[in-house]
Every structure is written in structure tokens, then in C-alpha cells.
């Protein structure tokens, strides 16, 4: 019987052979070791963190078949294409296949010719399919996007509830390994309970990816920002997410009119147009995809250099999953959220339009408020994200998010905060941000007069500011923990214990100085101004001319193989090639992402290119 050390050494050899990486990342190593020990396992890893390797490597080492539950057709195809390119026997079964093709793949599994078989969760609801699976030796069931099993998750799918009864019917219970990129503690509890994981090993790792610069920008001309940014980053693939189809169509037309190869994706388009646009983006025929959140869950494109959110997403889970589609190859990338108060109204409208029970709706409003607080926070954005998901961290600043790079000075806002807190207290903590702002502004609107709030001592004490500015300040104080909001469609603002200390003079309130036209102007050109970072700047060891030539070689191979370019080699691998300039097989195999199988299939033209350079 192999020891744990021997098993992990074999796993490392397979990782090098098939994937071209000399060792696992720390989180991957722990998960692979857990699965190989026979333990049920729950892995929470960021998008682009290498979740698939955590079940694909064990699948190569375990007897029989690994059955992978995957929610989207495009995701299955990408995964299987990548496995076949690496020399691993894999297949998928979904609605794109004929009955004859499905039967042939099941027969191949019975003959022991497959190590991984991908299926949609809906397939497990079919009696005939469950009977066929009972005849296979299934050593592991890998559940991808496992958060879909929880009604508290952001992509609840009832078909995921079929997984547990399916496992119970199998003659021999396999190892069950569940994976997702985003899960709060309550969703984690649901995954463990609803999937009936047996005493699982749980790993939450690396949600704060070092290569992603997160930015929240408020007060931008959004349309102008997107157009300028896409123009100044014209050679880089990017995704722009918008909340509504109308915004998607508007941005799509404007970007195309400015000469940028652009696609669009939303539920209102014909299936064929969506599929063609998605494929064009995967194959780098278009550079920018403008989409609603319907796009991207199954996209494994590794070289997306930026993700811009034109509107605030509905919750942190959605934001982290969508933003995480940038920089999956580990290369520096930008995630920019363009926030405005109107986004809040849009998301509330979408919640109300979605038919759901009151409990779930209440939960949606709670998550929305947490997203709003993230947008107003002045703390490190990576901290905010990790705190939300309950991941422990060392509280060192990331140094690259918009808040960490904000050069505005801290100013004493204690007096303004005391006025706001006093007004809320005098209004008996029974009203929302908008009405508090109206009272402080000295508004004569009907509701202010109806409740006689014009008689309060705090009435009009901030009349020199606009109601929008007052609301912004209140929201910052909420994000900083001085105030709290009740849950629901019409949240009520209340004093938190910190606010009481401020009112009593026991604590100061220090906030960033407000934006001025001068400090904001630097952002209008479409860069990420002082609060982000521009990856086009500065010296680089990468020879861009060589890199572009390598991309052309890769594109030719991809067209012959009829797969997206990144399945041949990703951008990070090509960049390392352009630095190392390998001229022998040994040199090539030292480059991350060049495994033995891929070298035999694709290495020759790259090696010839470098040999001719000598």
C-alpha cells in the first residue's frame, strides 16, 4: 500500500507529465492529498485557482472512473478539450449529443477507456442513466460549482439536489469531492449537509488572488470610461458586465462604432448569435465581450486581462466569480467596478421582479446591502472580500487595490459624523438614508413636513451639501461600521455602538478627503488612475515581438486542432518562453505549462522558431 508521501510524489509526476507544472500550489496539495486518502473533501478556491487539477490528478490515480458533475455545456467542453489536448482520456455527455453518441461514451466508460466523464446534474434525474451508472466502477464523484446545491447561494439549481440520492443508489459509495469558487459559511454548511459529505476535510484557500488589482470607482462617466479603457487596452481581451440588456446593447454598439472588435451576450439574443459571439471571444477573434451575468460561468479563457463591472452586481459571490474571470493564467489583470447610487435601485428592481419566496428575497436584500457596503468601504478591498467569505488572513494591505493606492489624505470628519448620528437619533432610528439626507439638507419635501422633521435641531445643518453628497457620506459611515441598516427593500438606518462613542466624544472619525474635479480628472482617460495600476507601464523581461510571434504559432495550431488558443498553451507559458527562448526539449519541459504530452503534440513549431533565432 502506498504511503501518503509516495502518493503525492506520483501525483507530482503526473502533474508535470500532463500539465507541465513541477509542483502543486499549497491549497491544491492539501486537497489532492485529502482526496487520495479517501476522504470526502470540500474545496473553496478562487476562479483561476486550479480547482480542476484537484480532482483530475486523483482521477488518474484512482481505479475506475471519476464522474464529474458540471452545470454548463460550454464548461464541460472546455474541460474535456483541455484534458484531451494534455493526453488524458475524458468525455462528456450532454444534450448536444445524439442518443447513439451517448451510448457509445457509456460503453467506452464500461470498457475502462475513460478516466473522467462529465455530466450535467439533470442527467442524474433520469432512471435509465442511473441504472447505467450502477454498472460502472465510480471511484470519485466530483461536484463542480457545488454552491448551486444551496438555496442561499447565488446560482441555486434544484437539479443539484439529485446528487445525494444518486450517490445513495450506487452499489459502492465513491469519494465525494465538492468544489466552488465562492461560498459564505452558511453556503458551506449547506454543501456539506445537502451533499451528505462524510466527515469531510474542508479547505478554504487563496480567495485573494495576488495578480488581480481590484478597484471601485465612484462618480465616473461610466460610458466614457469603458470606451476610453477599451481603446487604451485594445490588444487585451476583456469582459464588460452590465446589469441590463439595454446597457449591454448600448455599449456593444458604441464600442463597435469606435473600431473595437466587440461581441455581446445576453438572454435576449438568439442562441446562435450567443454561441458565435462566445466562440469568437474564446478564439480571440473579438477582444471585448459585453454581457449580462448570463455570460462566463462556463468560460475557461485564461488570458482575460480585465473585467469591468458597468453596474454593481447583486452580491459579493456574483462579483468575485465574475471578476475572477480575469487573469486565470496568473498574469497581472484589472477588476474595475464602476459604482453609482442608481445601481442600488436597479438591483432592487431586479430582486422584486424575480419570483421567489419572502425568505429568499429577504436574503437577497441582505446580500445586496453587503455589496453596497463593499462599494463604499475605505478599507483594503481584498480584506473586505476575505472577511465576507470568512477566510482568515494576516491583515497586511494588498497594496494594489484602489483603496490601498488612494493617495487622498485622511481628514477629521468627526463633527459631520456627530451631526448625522444626532439627526438619526432624533428621527428615532425609524427611517432610511434618503429621508435622513433630506432633513440634514433642509428639504421642504412632503415627508419631512409630514413628520415635522423641519422642527428638529439638526434640520438643515448640512444645507451647503447636496443630498447626494450627504447620502454618500452616510453610506461611507455604514460601510465603516458606525451605522447599520435593517434588511429588506426599504432599509432603516440605525446607530451602531461605534456611533455612540463618537457622540460621547470618545472616538474620532477619520475619512478620506472627498474627491475633487482635480483629483478625479486623472481617471477620465480610461486608466485606473492613482488607485489602480496600469500593466502597460514599466520595463518587462518579456520580448513583446517574440511573444506576438508565439501567439501566431499558437493560433495556427489552435485552428488546426479546432480548439481555443489557450488550450494549446496559455499566455503565461508563452511569456515565459519569450524570456527563456528554449532551444531543446529539456529547456521546453522546464517551462510551466509545457507537459510531456503537450510537448509531443505542439512543441515542435515553437522549438523550431527559437532554434532559427540563434
Q: Are 559 and 83 in contact (CB under 8 A)?
A: no
Taking each helix axis from N to C end, the angle separating 358-376 and 381-388, rounded to the nearest 10 degrees, works out to 160
User: Is the pLDDT at 528 greater than 50, yes or no?
Assistant: no
**pLDDT, tens only, 379-418:** 899 988 888 887 777 778 889 999 999 888 888 999 999 9
- State the pLDDT at residue 241: 95
φ/ψ (deg, to 5) at 493: -90, 135
Indicate the pLDDT class of residue 530, thresholds 50, 70 and 90.
very low
φ/ψ (deg, to 5) at 281: -70, -45
Q: What is the mean pLDDT of residues 68-81?
A: 85
- The rounded distance, in Å, linking the Cα atoms of 509 and 512 is 10
Domain membership flag for residue 401: no
Check whether residue 548 and residue 602 sit in a common domain. Answer: yes
CATH number, domain at 101?
Answer: 3.40.50.300
Check whether residue 293 and residue 316 sit in a common domain. Answer: yes
- Mean predicted lDDT score pLDDT of the chain: 88
**pLDDT, tens only, 226-243:** 999 999 998 899 999 999
DSSP string across 296-344? STT---S---EEEESS--SSHHHHHHHHTTS-TTS--EEEEEEE-HHHH
- State the pLDDT at residue 76: 86
**pLDDT, tens only, 280-338:** 898 888 999 999 886 765 567 888 999 999 999 988 988 988 898 899 888 899 999 99
Highest mean pLDDT among 257-266, 344-353, 514-523, 535-544: 257-266
Check whether residue 494 and residue 552 sit in a common domain. Answer: no
Domain membership flag for residue 84: yes
CA distances from 601 to 45, 303, 354, 597 (A): 30, 22, 49, 6
Q: What is the mean pLDDT of residues 563-569?
A: 87
- The rounded distance, in Å, linking the Cα atoms of 118 and 607 is 34
- State the pLDDT at residue 185: 80
Element at 441 (helix H, strand E): helix 433-441
Domain membership flag for residue 522: no
User: Is the pLDDT at 526 greater than 60, yes or no?
Assistant: no
- State the pLDDT at residue 181: 81
User: Is the pLDDT at 62 greater than 90, yes or no?
Assistant: yes
User: Is the pLDDT at 534 greater than 90, yes or no?
Assistant: no
Check whether residue 354 and residue 450 sit in a common domain. Answer: no
User: Is the pLDDT at 560 greater than 80, yes or no?
Assistant: yes
Indicate the pLDDT class of residue 1, thresholds 50, 70 and 90.
low
- The rounded distance, in Å, linking the Cα atoms of 123 and 3 is 37
Check whether residue 507 and residue 445 sit in a common domain. Answer: yes
Check whether residue 223 and residue 197 sit in a common domain. Answer: no
User: Is the pLDDT at 493 greater than 80, yes or no?
Assistant: yes
Domain membership flag for residue 279: yes
Domain span at residue 488 reads 410-514
Residue 542, C-alpha cell as written in the block: 518579456
User: Is the pLDDT at 363 greater than 90, yes or no?
Assistant: no
- Of 333, 357, 388, at which residue does a domain stop? 388
CATH number, domain at 427?
Answer: 1.10.10.10
Between 64-78, 430-444, 520-534, 562-576, the lowest mean confidence (pLDDT) is in 520-534
- Of 150, 175, 204, at which residue does a domain stop? 204
Domain membership flag for residue 228: yes
Check whether residue 377 and residue 445 sit in a common domain. Answer: no
**pLDDT, tens only, 172-207:** 999 999 998 877 788 899 999 999 999 999 998 767
DSSP string across 60-100? HHSSSEEEEE-S-HHHHHHHHHHHHHHT--EEEE-TTS-HH
Domain membership flag for residue 525: no
- State the pLDDT at residue 539: 35
- Of 154, 174, 204, at which residue does a domain stop? 204
- State the pLDDT at residue 134: 95
**pLDDT, tens only, 252-264:** 999 999 999 999 9
Q: Which residue has the cell 439549481?
A: 157
Q: What is the 3-state secondary structure (H, E, C) of 389-428?
A: CCCCCCCCCCCCCCCCCCCCCEEECHHHHHHHHHHHHHCC
- State the pLDDT at residue 531: 38
Nearest to 383 by CA among 207, 246, 572, 131: 207
Nearest to 194 by CA among 225, 169, 172, 164: 164
Q: Pick the residue with more confidence: 493 or 514?
A: 493
- The rounded distance, in Å, linking the Cα atoms of 366 and 379 is 20
CATH number, domain at 564?
Answer: 1.10.150.80
CA dihedral 316, 318, 324, 326 (to 10 degrees): -120
- State the pLDDT at residue 520: 46
- State the pLDDT at residue 293: 80
Domain membership flag for residue 536: no
Check whether residue 556 and residue 489 sit in a common domain. Answer: no
Check whether residue 502 and residue 442 sit in a common domain. Answer: yes
- State the pLDDT at residue 523: 43
- State the pLDDT at residue 187: 87
Q: Are 568 and 599 in contact (CB under 8 A)?
A: no
Check whether residue 464 and residue 376 sit in a common domain. Answer: no
- State the pLDDT at residue 527: 43
**pLDDT, tens only, 575-612:** 899 999 999 999 999 999 998 889 999 999 999 999 98
User: Is the pLDDT at 524 greater than 50, yes or no?
Assistant: no
> For residue 440, what are the contacts with CB-CB under 8 A and spacing of at least 6?
419, 420, 423, 458, 459, 460, 461, 462, 463, 465, 470
Check whether residue 232 and residue 321 sit in a common domain. Answer: yes
The predicted model scores a pTM of 0.74
Q: How many domains does the chain have?
A: 4
Check whether residue 58 and residue 154 sit in a common domain. Answer: yes
Domain membership flag for residue 72: yes
Q: What is the mean pLDDT of residues 503-516?
A: 82
Amino acid at each position: 500500500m502506498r504511503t501518503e508521501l509516495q502518493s503525492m510524489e506520483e501525483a507530482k509526476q503526473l502533474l508535470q507529465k500532463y500539465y507541465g507544472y513541477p509542483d502543486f500550489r499549497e491549497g491544491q496539495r492539501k486537497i489532492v492529498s485529502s482526496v487520495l486518502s479517501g476522504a470526502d473533501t470540500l474545496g473553496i478556491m478562487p476562479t483561476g485557482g486550479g480547482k480542476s487539477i484537484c480532482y483530475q490528478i486523483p482521477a488518474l490515480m484512482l481505479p475506475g472512473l471519476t464522474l464529474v458533475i458540471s452545470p454548463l455545456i460550454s464548461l464541460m467542453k472546455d474541460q474535456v478539450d483541455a484534458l484531451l489536448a494534455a493526453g488524458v482520456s475524458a468525455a462528456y455527455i450532454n444534450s448536444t449529443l445524439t442518443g447513439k453518441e451517448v451510448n457509445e461514451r457509456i460503453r467506452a466508460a464500461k470498457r475502462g477507456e475513460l478516466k473522467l466523464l462529465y455530466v450535467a446534474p439533470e442527467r442524474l434525474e433520469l432512471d435509465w442513466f442511473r441504472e447505467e451508472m450502477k454498472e460502472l466502477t465510480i471511484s470519485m464523484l466530483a461536484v463542480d460549482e457545488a454552491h448551486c446545491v444551496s438555496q442561499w447561494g447565488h446560482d441555486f439549481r434544484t437539479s443539484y439536489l439529485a446528487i445525494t440520492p444518486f450517490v445513495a443508489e450506487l452499489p459502492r459509495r465513491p469519494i465525494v469531492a465538492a468544489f466552488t469558487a465562492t461560498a459564505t459559511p452558511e453556503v458551506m454548511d449547506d454543501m456539506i449537509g445537502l451533499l451528505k459529505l462524510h466527515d469531510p476535510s474542508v479547505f478554504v484557500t487563496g480567495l485573494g488572488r495576488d495578480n488581480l488589482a481590484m478597484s471601485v470607482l465612484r462618480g465616473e462617466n461610466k460610458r466614457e470610461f469603458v470606451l476610453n479603457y477599451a481603446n487604451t487596452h485594445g490588444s487585451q481581451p476583456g469582459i464588460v458586465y452590465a446589469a441590463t440588456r439595454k446597457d449591454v446593447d448600448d455599449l456593444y454598439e458604441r464600442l463597435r462604432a469606435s473600431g473595437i472588435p466587440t461581441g455581446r451576450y445576453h438572454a435576449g439574443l438568439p442562441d446562435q448569435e450567443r454561441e458565435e459571439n462566445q466562440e469568437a471571444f474564446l478564439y480571440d477573434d473579438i477582444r471585448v465581450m459585453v454581457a449580462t451575468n448570463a455570460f462566463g460561468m462556463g468560460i475557461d479563457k485564461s488570458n482575460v486581462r480585465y473585467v469591468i463591472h458597468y453596474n454593481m452586481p447583486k452580491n459579493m459571490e456574483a462579483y468575485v466569480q465574475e471578476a475572477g474571470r480575469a487573469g486565470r493564467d496568473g498574469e497581472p489583470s484589472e477588476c474595475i467596478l464602476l459604482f453609482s447610487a442608481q445601481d442600488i435601485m436597479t438591483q432592487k428592481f431586479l430582486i422584486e421582479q424575480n419570483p421567489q419566496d419572502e425568505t429568499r428575497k429577504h436574503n437577497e436584500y441582505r446580500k445586496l446591502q453587503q455589496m453596497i457596503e463593499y462599494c463604499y468601504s475605505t478599507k483594503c478591498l481584498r480584506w473586505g472580500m476575505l472577511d465576507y467569505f470568512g477566510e482568515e488572513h494576516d491583515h497586511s494591505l494588498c497594496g494594489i487595490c484602489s483603496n490601498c493606492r488612494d493617495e487622498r489624505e485622511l481628514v477629521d470628519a468627526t463633527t459631520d459624523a456627530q451631526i448625522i448620528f444626532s439627526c438619526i437619533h432624533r428621527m428615532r432610528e425609524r427611517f432610511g438614508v434618503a429621508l435622513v439626507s433630506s432633513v440634514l439638507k433642509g428639504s421642504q419635501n412632503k415627508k419631512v413636513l409630514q413628520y415635522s422633521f423641519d422642527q428638529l435641531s439638526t434640520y438643515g445643518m448640512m444645507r451647503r451639501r447636496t443630498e447626494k453628497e450627504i447620502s454618500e457620506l452616510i453610506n461611507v459611515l455604514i460601510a465603516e461600521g458606525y451605522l447599520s441598516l435593517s434588511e429588506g427593500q426599504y432599509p432603516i438606518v440605525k446607530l451602531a455602538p461605534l456611533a455612540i462613542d463618537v457622540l460621547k466624544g470618545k472616538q474620532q472619525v477619520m475619512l478620506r478627503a472627498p474627491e475633487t474635479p482635480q483629483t478625479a480628472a486623472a481617471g477620465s482617460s480610461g486608466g485606473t488612475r492613482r488607485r489602480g495600476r496600469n500593466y502597460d507601464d514599466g520595463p518587462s523581461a518579456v520580448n513583446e515581438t517574440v511573444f506576438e510571434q508565439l501567439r501566431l504559432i499558437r493560433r495556427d495550431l489552435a485552428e488546426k486542432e479546432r480548439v481555443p488558443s489557450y488550450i494549446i498553451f496559455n499566455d503565461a507559458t508563452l511569456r515565459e518562453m519569450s524570456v527563456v527562448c528554449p532551444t531543446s526539449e529539456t529547456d521546453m519541459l522546464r517551462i510551466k505549462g509545457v507537459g510531456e504530452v503537450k510537448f509531443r503534440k505542439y512543441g515542435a513549431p515553437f522549438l523550431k522558431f527559437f532554434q532559427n533565432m540563434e
